[in-house]
Amino acid sequence: MSLARRSAIVTGGGSGIGASLTAALVGAGADVVCTDLDLGAAEKTVARLAGPGSARAAAVDVTRAAQVQQVVDEVVEAHGRIDLMFNNAGITYFGDTEDLTLDQWNSIIDVNIRGVVHGVHAAYPQMVRRRGGHIVNTASMGGLMAAGLMTSYVATKHAVVGLSLALRTEAAAHGVGVTVVCPAAVDTPILDKNEIGPYRGRDFYLDGQGIKRPLDADMLARRVLAAVEANEAMVVEPRRARLAWRVGRLSPTFVNRTTTRFIARQRAQARKKSA
């Protein structure tokens, strides 16, 4: 589908992949609501944009179903439809699982799973009624392959992949597309976070995937929009990530052993740094 004059919502648009998706959509001529829990961050994203499309900022907490529903209803009222729903907002915790609090488990489940469910619940029925539209859910390579020290994140992203692929099989009969985005490490602020334990985010995320340089968020956004136009089921980037995923499908035991050794190495390095 052409994206010109399409109505779109992006959650988590205040930074990272969400900000790049918003910019790419405006550049393609779409009319976008850039939402974020941090309204100021969303406003900064919108202020930097230029293109044939338009954008406005809105404060939305994706864990609150009513807030997600409200922004979808506003778009439908303004445009008569919601064409594109990008359920992109997400958080991560990494570190030893025994150090995770129950509050942290609940938080990541609420944002990464319920946030997507709320977006689907609000937008999908509108798309079914008008027999058109596209839902894009941001998952991760962590939704395709399992790595320790980020167990809660992996669990939630596997759920997003499963939800997306299952919904796609239903949605096709209604003329609605569904795409799930599964990138390896992307150059966003999430790489520098270190919420739990002695592990260093950027080294962990890049080392763990054998990547020297993270994926550029703007490049990923352009790739995602191309996938939407082509109605592709999945976006797995970069090429190295696709190869790793295929190896994992062919030889899960090999990947499990490799990942186990990587975890042991990370723990040894963390102990050395903290000594």
- CATH classification of the domain holding 131: 3.40.50.720
Asked if residue 12 belongs to a domain, the reply is yes
Counting runs of H as helices and runs of E as strands, what totals does the chain give?
10, 7
Domain limits for position 70: 7-274
The pLDDT score that the predictor gives to residue 102 is: 97
Give the side-chain half-sphere CA count within 13 A for 82.
31
Which one-letter DSSP state was computed for residue 33?
E
Asked if residue 176 belongs to a domain, the reply is yes
The pLDDT score that the predictor gives to residue 251 is: 93
The low-confidence residues of the chain, meaning pLDDT below 50, are none
The pLDDT score that the predictor gives to residue 20 is: 97
Quickly count: other Cβ atoms within 10 Å of residue 110's Cβ: 17
Asked if residue 269 belongs to a domain, the reply is yes
Give the side-chain half-sphere CA count within 13 A for 92.
26
9 token code pair: 């919502």
Work out how many domains the chain is built from and give that number: 1
Quickly count: other Cβ atoms within 10 Å of residue 172's Cβ: 12
Q: What angle do CA 136, 225, 66 make, to 5 degrees?
A: 30
The pLDDT score that the predictor gives to residue 204 is: 65
Q: Are 172 and 215 in contact (CB under 8 A)?
A: no
Asked if residue 111 belongs to a domain, the reply is yes
Q: For 92-109, write each residue's pLDDT tens digit.
A: 988 899 999 999 999 999
Asked if residue 1 belongs to a domain, the reply is no
Asked if residue 184 belongs to a domain, the reply is yes
Burial 32-47 (b: 16+ CB within 10 A, else e): bbbbbbeeebbbbbbe
Sheet containing strand 31-36, strands side by side: 54-59, 31-36, 7-10, 84-87, 133-138, 176-183, 234-237
Q: Which residues are known catalytic residues?
A: 153
Single-letter residue type at 253: T
Asked if residue 2 belongs to a domain, the reply is no
Cα–Cα distance between 250 and 213 in angstroms, integer?
Answer: 26
